[in-house]
Amino acid sequence: MTVPQSLISPVPVDSFSDRATRAWWTDGLWELAMAGFWAITALWLHPLVQTLAFPSWTWPWPFITEEHINPLRTQIALWVIGLFFIWMTYIFLARLLVDRMKRRLVAPRLGDVRHKFFLPVGRSFGLIFFAVYVLGCAVLTILFWKGKGGPHLFSVFGIASFAGAMYLVGRKYDLRRFRWVSIVGSVLCVTAEMLTTHAVYLDGPKNFMDVSPLYGNPSLICLIWAGMIFLSGFIALRQTLGLPHAEA
């Protein structure tokens, strides 16, 4: 049995998949959800990084302790595990809320488009991302070593991972604003990190910009990404809601 030529699409199946994925991201709702994710991560990381980087007598709440030898390691471990469960709960609830808002606000204007929970990017995308991530980490580590006298490792990981992911996703699915978020956000993150000061180890940080030269200030990086992605999502959602309803 032969298939009529009129039913054969000249567009590859992968192209349809990419268009559907791009349409799902167009309205900006998931970016608003991601902004909340980064804000929660910043709040949770701030006391944790200070606990890992400085002596126990400088620790903030909830890690305040009078122990000086192996203090509260169980509590630190539970704090880390707690962050993982908070992430999972937030992502689950955010996905439900985003899906509901898409059906009520976006579907009447752009149609109802969905894809699987995990972004369908392919194996080659993962390999390219890994290469970009490693290269980015190397460049940023050298930059901070030269400019700040320390590797600022946690900040490096936060900058390189999200910048690389946003740029490559934007490139694959033709989302120009993602690429701008990646570029502008990276510049802001590096600039902010260069403006931090190194805290005296025995005294601990005196303010939010006082950091460990080893770990840096990942909470600051998370807040910058949260602001950038919120702005991107807000603009996209405002443009989407300005569209007329599609005719039935």
- What is the DSSP-derived secondary structure letter of residue 212? B
Give the pLDDT band of residue 173 (cuts 50, 70, 90). Answer: confident
Cα gap 119→61, rounded to integer Å: 37
Of the pLDDT bands very low, low, confident and very high (cuts 50, 70, 90), residue 199 is confident
Number of H helices, E strands in the chain: 8, 2
User: What pLDDT digit, counting tens, does each position of 96-133 carry?
Assistant: 998 888 888 877 776 666 666 566 666 788 888 999 99
Q: Is the pLDDT of residue 221 over 80?
A: yes
Give pLDDT tens digits for 52-66: 888 776 777 666 665
26-52 burial by CB neighbour count: b if 16+ within 10 A, else e?
A: bbbbbbbbbbebbbbbbebbbbbbbbb
Whether residue 198 has pLDDT greater than 50: yes
Whole-number Å distance between alpha carbons of 45 and 59: 13
Q: Is there a contact between 222 and 45 (Cβ–Cβ < 8 Å)? A: yes
pLDDT at position 78: 81
Query: How far is C-alpha 10 from the geometric centre of its chain's CA atoms?
Result: 36
Q: Report residue 181 as tokens.
A: 């978020």
Residue 114: predicted pLDDT? 65
**Bigger pLDDT: 203 vs 164:** 164
Q: Are 137 and 156 in contact (CB under 8 A)?
A: yes
Q: What is the reported pLDDT for 68?
A: 54
Please say whether the beta carbons of 215 and 53 come within 8 A.
yes
Looking at the DSSP assignment, which residues form a beta bridge with residue 198? 211
Nearest 5 degrees, angle CA 227-CA 232-CA 234? Answer: 90
pLDDT band at 201 (very low <50, low <70, confident <90, very high): confident
Tens of pLDDT, residue by residue over 183-195, are 999 999 999 999 9
- Residues 9-54 pLDDT 10s: 444 445 546 666 676 778 888 899 999 999 999 999 988 888 888 8
Give dist(CA 171, CA 152) in Å, integer.
28
